[in-house]
Structure 1
Amino acid sequence: MTTPWQRTADGANLLGPDGSLGVTIFEEITTLANRHQAINLGQGFPDEDGPAELSRMAQEAIAGGQNQYAPGKGILELRQAVADHQERFYGLIPDPDTEIVITTGATEAIAAAILALTGPGDEVLTFEPFYDSYGAMIGLSGASHTTVPLLAPDFMPDLAALENSFSQRTKMVIVNNPHNPTGAVFPEAVLTEVVRLAVKYDAVILTDEVYEHLTFGPRHIPVATLPGAAERTLTISSAGKTFSFTGWKVGWISGPADLVAAARTVKQFLSYSSGTPFQTAIAAGLRMDESFFTGAAATLRRKRDILSEGLRAAGLDVLTSHGTYFINADTAALGITDATALARRLPELIGVAAIPVAVFCHPEGAQRTRSLLRFAFCKREEVLEQAAGRLATLKDKL
């Protein structure tokens, strides 16, 4: 009997049936970071909490008895807040009763949508590198995972390659924008071509926009706002990235009622209901003044710049991040082509941890990205300054 998950030759990763991302490298790097008391810039979560008023609201909800199941599709207050947010920022007007469902983070939203809408014989298309959850869920659905490479240094796709990657079997195209792990923010021309091809091949568009408010210059364009997209697009976002409450695991899907209903049908057998006392707090968060959202992006931009200076001082080629809270650096500038091997050395060598970008790729894509490291800059500024100082010693310690 063949297991659907196979270990790679070096034993570092587990690969899905389609060669999708392994999972153990993340645990390995974290273990090394802990062992050597390194600053862990491999993990993508903040080291400080979000707005205190939202924490107080969640505490009050717990104390007030909001501790039982919420409705399967989420409390109305939060569904209405999501609808209001989409209208306020993007001019979209989803129906909170039929076109929005609250999920246990974006991770469950991704799983529910892929499992509901794809299966054996289908193809699901993503950009590559790709967020690890996509490969895992596509593998579980039984669909085939096809990819389009994002090309350094700006991590944009070749549009001809994008068109050639679609086929009559393409059932879904997943667009992560802003993009993890590259930090790319796709312009209208790229997104419009995705929509054109999705219409041509009658594919559903699943758009993961969890970093929608975390861009540094380029404007975030929701796919659902583009002509011809709304009727075939499921949009995913979450509270974790925007409000720095990743542990609350509150996300949502919005889109056409029939597609949302399909995802909700699967969601009810994954978690049924999500974080009742947190939902009221996140509803309030989505209604915060626009200055909160622009301020969060400005703060992250400063943090990006602090870390970028440290990476350049280390002799690495920094590939500018325009969104998310990740930045990539090319180790080839130091004559190192195996970033995975370097990632395993960094915690002991200089006391900083990072993740190799190759683990976000299929084998062919891993070769294209084998000299790239991803660093997270969603940490306190003093921590990033300390990390930058340590990085500056890299050339001397190699």
Structure 2
Amino acid sequence: MTSTYTVIPYESGAWPDALRRTARPEVLERWGAVDRSPHAPRLVVAPDGDGAALLTSRPGTAYVKIVDAVGDVPKAVEAVLSYACEQGLVQVKWEGWTASAEDAAAAGFAPLRLPITHPHGPGEPGAGFVRWLGGRGDGVAEPPPYYRQSTHFTCGAVTALVAQAHAGVEAWESLDRPAELTLWRDATNFPACEPVGLGVAVRRRWPSSPVEVFLDTDGPVLLDHLAEDEREWRAVLQRASRAEAGRLGVPVQARRLSLAGLRDAVGRREHVLLLVSLAAMQGFDVPHWVLCHGAVPGAVVVDDPWFNTAAGETWVDAHLLPVPDGSLDAMSPAGQDGVRGAVRIGGREEGGGGGGGGGGVR
């Protein structure tokens, strides 16, 4: 990249005159319709000032997203790519509000598959594009299409369903709200899905799929926010899940899944459901399940079944999301007790079939 650029801090409504002249009113209206401040909004301007782009990104990640490029679009995108490379990022995404497929392709971006739950409404872009920097995307297998959880508590169910559909064990057309809630009902510790219960539900739903649970404590988890009487009966259910894991032959490893082990698993085209805290990425410490399905140098590629529309996020942010190794390691202790939990789902066993169904913590 030879382009230079200028970075201007973004403040809604306080746009430079040049931007007001080049950006259509509906574009500026959309930019200012939400509070993007949690995701570090900034304007990157091409050297001659004729092209500019609004960028945002989740904290603790290794990408930047072009919300729109205005003016001289090719020059604006070239400036963004220069900026992203100098920042050491691995990926640039581009929301398809105003971007054409032709402009995206000319700049080296590939189209993202539309989500299974694509709303076809004004609140979501009709397309999305991605460009990996420095050839880092070469090792990323064909990703799953995006599926957004339909409740605040079914993230575990969604990650398991998407993992199994991506592995060819579950049909994509079966991923819907009934499937999501059915698997959640089997896995839930009310309303969260803790690691052992989720692993047991996966084994019951897909008995041919190897499942392994990693949990660095033998006590009940994700209950620290509850009153004592509310903890007691959920702890009973968690002990029952451990007993069921023993009966079904689901190994429960009394340790965390190391980052190296996680990268090895996804390198074998296995899937890891990882329990994380949303404190770094979203600013609130809520336990949450994400699906790890790929790895690139320095980052793990995840799909997050939830995104924060109030901060201007869309499915383009949450899908094919690279998280640096150190960031992922730092966000994997979840809840006030800092539990580290993961569910590894291997490839289909010889002679096995697949089942059908729907489980999760936001």
* TM-score using structure 1 length: 0.27
Tell me: higher relative CO, structure 1 or 2? Use CA pairs within 8 A at least 6 residues apart: 1
Q: Which has the higher helix share?
A: 1
* TM-score using structure 2 length: 0.29
